[in-house]
């Protein structure tokens, strides 16, 4: 039998699709003994997973429940094959992205504040907010209470599976999509990231949905933020280090742009950090993929990889091959 360790916090009902050849070993997040397993499904929370790793022996394959595996190679070393859960969180992350765009363009954070205040007349603050962030100070009547997404230019920085799902969800809203991938592609409608500087001035909404790598760290810094048009919306559903946090805080405080973030750098964001109190910002604590379907989707992918592993077939989602 193939011994497969999984987080004990996961309901055994969700493992019913796993192959019969797998002996499933629940692993608590605190261990006082060593365990011999060949396949490890780490806890999605890295701190818990790293705490149990020293007690695990014989691991040859890691099946992450997340698309991101940044912390795993340094922990398990080069002699272990690592697979991610590619595709498990496409829908939920894309939905968060579209929801965040609408929340900001419809001024939901302001209206929630107005709701809590119980003062109806405060709705006219939306017109002042619109004029301030966009620079459009025309005497508009009736006053502006929100903005429309239709007709805007959306810069999609990252054109993998999640980026393509975001584009599919945005299609009914008649936006112009400008696609950017990390590397040049044969498709002439997908620009390489080397052309980002030329594209940023067109972006009324700029979406970041690319992995954290040495190349993408600090991809959006002061020069890039300065290229965005006045009032542009920056949406980061990727990884925190893709954006220079100090530069973003400066741009938000200056009223240059607005932003919606599900990820930050540092993360977790400490109490008292300047981002918490920045204007023109919607911030959620890395929750975009955390729907009730999170575990079922990810475990279904892990079960498929296990079947291929047992059958000696190539694995689909390898991010590190053992040496």
Predicted confidence (pLDDT) per residue in 184-205, tens digit: 788 889 999 999 999 999 999 9
Q: Residue 246 phi/psi, 5° resolution?
A: -60, -40
Residue 81's pLDDT is 98
Phi, psi of 260 (to 5 degrees): -130, 120
User: For the domain 90-106+147-283, what is the CATH code?
Assistant: 3.40.50.720
Q: Start-end ranges of CATH 3.40.50.720 in the chain? A: 2-88+292-320, 90-106+147-283
Rounded to an integer, the average pLDDT of 125-151 is: 96
Q: How far is CA 93 from CA 108, 163, 236, 263, in A?
A: 19, 9, 11, 12
Separation CA 309–CA 150 (nearest Å): 46
CA atoms within 13 A on the CB side of 62: 32
The per-residue pLDDT for 204 is 98
Provide the Cα torsion 146, 253, 200, 143; round to 10°: 20
Give the separation between CA 133 and CA 112, rounded to whole angstroms.
Answer: 19
Q: How far is CA 265 from CA 22, 157, 192, 240, in A?
A: 39, 18, 25, 5
Q: How far is CA 167 from the centre of its chain?
A: 15
Whole-number average pLDDT of the chain: 96
> Percent of the chain scored above 90 by pLDDT?
93
Whether domain 2-88+292-320 has CATH 3.40.50.720: the reply is yes
DSSP 154-196: EEEE--SHHHHHHHHHHGGG-PEEEEEESS--S-TTEEEGGGH
Please check whether residue 75 is in contact with residue 284, taking contact to mean a CB–CB distance below 8 angstroms.
no
Residue range 72-99: mean pLDDT, rounded: 96
Angle 94-100-103 from CA coordinates, rounded to 5°: 145
Q: How far apart (Å, rounded) are the C-alpha atoms in residues 65 and 71?
A: 13
For 43, phi and psi rounded to 5 degrees? -60, 140
- In this prediction, residue 68 carries a pLDDT of 86
């Amino acid at each position: 039998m193939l011994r497969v360790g999984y987080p004990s916090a996961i309901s055994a009902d969700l493992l019913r699709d796993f192959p019969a050849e797998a002996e499933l070993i629940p692993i608590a997040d605190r261990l006082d003994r060593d365990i011999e397993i060949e396949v490890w499904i780490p806890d999605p929370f890295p701190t818990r997973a790293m705490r149990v790793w020293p007690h695990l022996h014989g691991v040859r394959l890691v099946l992450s429940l997340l698309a991101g595996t940044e912390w795993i190679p340094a922990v398990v070393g080069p002699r272990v094959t690592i697979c991610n859960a590619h595709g498990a969180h496409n829908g939920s992350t894309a939905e968060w992205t579209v929801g965040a765009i609408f929340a900001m363009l419809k001024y939901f954070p302001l209206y929630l504040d107005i709701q809590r205040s119980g003062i109806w007349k405060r709705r006219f603050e939306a017109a002042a907010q619109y004029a301030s962030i966009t620079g459009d100070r025309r005497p508009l009547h009736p006053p502006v209470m929100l903005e429309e997404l239709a007709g805007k230019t959306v810069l999609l920085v990252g054109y993998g599976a999640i980026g393509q799902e975001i584009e599919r969800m945005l299609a009914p809203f008649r936006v112009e999509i400008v696609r950017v991938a990390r590397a040049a592609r044969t498709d002439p409608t997908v620009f390489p990231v080397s052309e980002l500087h030329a594209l940023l001035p067109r972006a009324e909404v700029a979406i970041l949905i690319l992995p954290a790598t040495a190349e993408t760290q600090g991809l959006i810094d002061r020069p890039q933020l300065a290229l965005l048009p006045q009032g542009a919306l920056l949406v980061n559903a990727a990884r925190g280090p893709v954006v220079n946090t100090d530069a973003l805080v400066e741009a938000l405080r200056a009223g240059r742009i607005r932003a919606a973030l599900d990820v930050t750098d540092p993360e977790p964001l400490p109490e008292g950090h300047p981002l918490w109190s920045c204007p023109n910002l919607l911030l959620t604590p890395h929750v975009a993929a955390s729907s009730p379907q999170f575990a079922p989707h990810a475990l279904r992918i892990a079960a498929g990889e296990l079947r291929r592993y047992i059958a000696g077939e190539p694995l689909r989602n390898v991010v590190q091959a053992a040496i």
